[in-house]
Amino acid sequence: MEIIVFGGGYVGLVQAAGLASTGNEVTIAEVDDDKITQINSGQAPFYEPQLPELLSKGVEQSQLRAVKVGSDEFDKRLKSAEIIFIAVQTPESSDGSADLKYVFEVVDTISKLPGDLSDRVVVMKSTVPVGTGDAVENRFNTHGKNPIVASNPEFLKQGSAVRDFMQPERVIIGSENERAQELLSYIYKPFMLKRERIICMGRRSAELVKYACNAFLATKISFINEISQLAEMIGADIRDIRRGMITDSRIGDQFLFPGVGFGGSCFPKDTISLVHQGEKFSVPMRIPQAVDQVNKRQRTWALLNLKDIFKELKDKSIAIWGLSFKPKTDDLREAPSVYLIEELIKAGAKVRAHDPIAIDRAKTLLAKHSSKIQYFEDMYAAAESADALVLMTEWHEYRSPSFKKLSEILKNKIILDGRNVFGPEITRQYGFRYRGVGIPENLK
């Protein structure tokens, strides 16, 4: 099928490359020249495992290309596209609601096509507030166009987005229109040979499912984080509590890892958006609200512990392992590490940072603090002479470090483990003062 995807970001690129891999003719419509050049040379503009391979294959086989919005090639591809995905960004506006200006720009561009467009399916892939499908449809109508507008929320996790695309747990099609259901089922069929996983529903329901899933997963994380705070005060071990909980199959074992708070482009934004959407309809979203509050408090875990240990952070040198909001990505959006670094600098401390992938991005994002942050290619070099080591992201490389080496190079033998990767059992053997999330320091 001929498909055009507006937006070559995380969502659009995986979507486009994935659909090109099953023989569709896919065009990515972008406004950023650098991104276009990168994509057309088979490179991803960000780190995502398996994506460069998929992109290069699509480009080499001429199934995939990126074009500039407004170019002749773009006009040609848009004219012949049967399915149009919108995967542009929806940034948070100052009041916390999603800003849809890029979505509407795309609608206006599509509306320039001749005809009434009733044979086209326009699919919303960006996470948008419930009712956006209706607003998009209305905007098309004001231009005298009436394409079929469907919702098809994405459930990709960064770090395993390609695998998630190729083996989806489900595909949700939000449209009661038969043609939309038929075309979308057709393009997703190759990814569900083992089991049918397409679920069709109304557009508004599909829009809300996405928020419900993300807010629920975020709820699990904030719940375990809140219990971990209590465990710390009570003198209980969150690792045992978790073990006791997850054996109950109704609870399950996923998204119950305590940590320094959730980050990324989805959970923080989506929980807040749900709160705003509830307000609009006078349905207070108390749980998402609490989830957000707990998460904000959880992000302070490392800072509060450092303050508790050192009392004064001025001129202290703190080593940080892990900058990205989770492993296997270079994304720093809402990363707890960024919050920690900014607070440490405010308190007069210096930072020695290591991350396997995200250093370049961190240098750009935190450029204004460059004199206070040193970046290291080697994780042990970052720990050299530091007053304490804080683990913020559970990258594989950090999971079993040489504690002997660390005990020799750190100025103070202090480890704050924001992801409970090490545990006091091993670190104590090397004489470390150790605190984990929900693991009290004086745990017997």
Task: Give the footprint of ligand UDX on this chain (CB under 6 A).
Answer: 154-158, 214, 217, 221, 255-257, 259, 262-264, 266-267, 325-326
Catalytic residue among 14, 180, 266, 439: 266
**CA angle, 140 as apex, 136 and 144 as ends, to 5°?**
160
* Closer residue to ligand UDX, CB minimum distance, 262 or 403: 262
Per the structure block, which two tokens stand in for 19?
Answer: 């659909």
Cα distance between residue 358 and residue 315, in whole Å: 25
CA distances from 418 to 1, 268, 328, 378, 436 (A): 47, 18, 17, 20, 6
Residues in the chain: 444
Task: For residue 266, indicate whether it is catalytic.
Answer: yes
State the minimum distance, in angstroms, from the CB of residue 217 to ligand UDX: 6
405-412: long-range contacts at Cβ-Cβ below 8 A with a sequence spacing of 24 or more?
405/380, 406/380, 406/430, 406/432, 407/431, 407/432, 409/380, 409/383, 409/384, 409/385, 410/319, 410/383, 410/384, 410/385, 410/386, 411/317, 411/385, 411/386, 411/387, 412/387, 412/388
State the minimum distance, in angstroms, from the CB of residue 81 to ligand UDX: 24
* Closer residue to ligand UDX, CB minimum distance, 157 or 297: 157
DSSP 439: B
> What is the rounded end-to-end Cα distance, in angstroms, of the chain?
63
Cα distance between residue 244 and residue 109, in whole Å: 55
Q: Which residues, at least 6 apart from 75, have a Cβ–Cβ distance to it below 8 Å? A: none
State the minimum distance, in angstroms, from the CB of residue 350 to ligand UDX: 25
Contact 416, 389 (CB under 8 A): yes
State the minimum distance, in angstroms, from the CB of residue 88 to ligand UDX: 16
Per the structure block, which two tokens stand in for 97?
Answer: 């609601």
Contact 299, 336 (CB under 8 A): yes
Cα distance between residue 417 and residue 415, in whole Å: 6
Count CB neighbours of 64 within 10 A.
28
* Closer residue to ligand UDX, CB minimum distance, 7 or 263: 263
State the minimum distance, in angstroms, from the CB of residue 414 to ligand UDX: 23
State the minimum distance, in angstroms, from the CB of residue 252 to ligand UDX: 11
Edge-to-edge strands of the sheet including 148-151?
A: 64-68, 25-30, 2-6, 83-86, 121-124, 148-151, 171-174, 198-201
* Closer residue to ligand UDX, CB minimum distance, 220 or 276: 220
State the minimum distance, in angstroms, from the CB of residue 299 to ligand UDX: 10
Count CB neighbours of 362 within 10 A.
23
* Closer residue to ligand UDX, CB minimum distance, 316 or 419: 419
State the minimum distance, in angstroms, from the CB of residue 205 to ligand UDX: 17
Which residues are the active-site residues? 266
